[in-house]
Amino acid sequence: MRSLTRAEEEIMRILWQLGKGFVKDVLAEMPEPKPAYNTVSTIIRILEKKGVVGYTAYGKTHEYYPLITEVEYKRFEMNQLLSNYFDSSLPKLVSFFVKDHDLNTKDLDEIIKMMQNQKDSE
């Protein structure tokens, strides 16, 4: 899998929400100012070439659907982030957010609680 551009991600979010749809359906969900129909169609074809979107053909019309879930993509992107910026170290990632994003004690307590719940469920 490869990372998606911002425009590709926007279209994937819409397809994840819709489940499946034609170019006009995707375009209808996009915020103003809406891109041209051909622009959306081109981006969807790029997503198809990247292997993240499939389609069902109805004559000359295609209905598109995601081939990966949003969770799968988030997992991929988080692994890329960890690998590229934090030497695949989750503690380094957490340390970065603690130091650079001025987390308060409530945020830290919530993170600790989530980690404890995960540990308890294992």
Residues 46-55 pLDDT 10s: 999 999 999 9
Cis peptide before 31 (omega within 30 of 0): no
22 and 55, same domain (yes or no): yes
Among 21, 44, 66, the domain-final residue is: 66
61 and 74, same domain (yes or no): no
Q: What is the pLDDT of residue 105?
A: 80
Q: What is the pLDDT of residue 3?
A: 86
Q: What is the pLDDT of residue 14?
A: 97
Among 66, 82, 105, the domain-final residue is: 66
pTM: 0.79
Q: Amino acid identity of 1?
A: M
**Does 91 map to a domain?**
yes
- The list of the chain residues with pLDDT below 50 reads none
59 and 100, same domain (yes or no): no
11 and 62, same domain (yes or no): yes
31 and 12, same domain (yes or no): yes
Q: What is the pLDDT of residue 94?
A: 79
45 and 87, same domain (yes or no): no
Query: Phi and psi at residue 21, in whole multiples of 5°?
Result: 180, 160
Q: How far is C-alpha 21 from the geometric centre of its chain's CA atoms?
A: 18
83 and 100, same domain (yes or no): yes
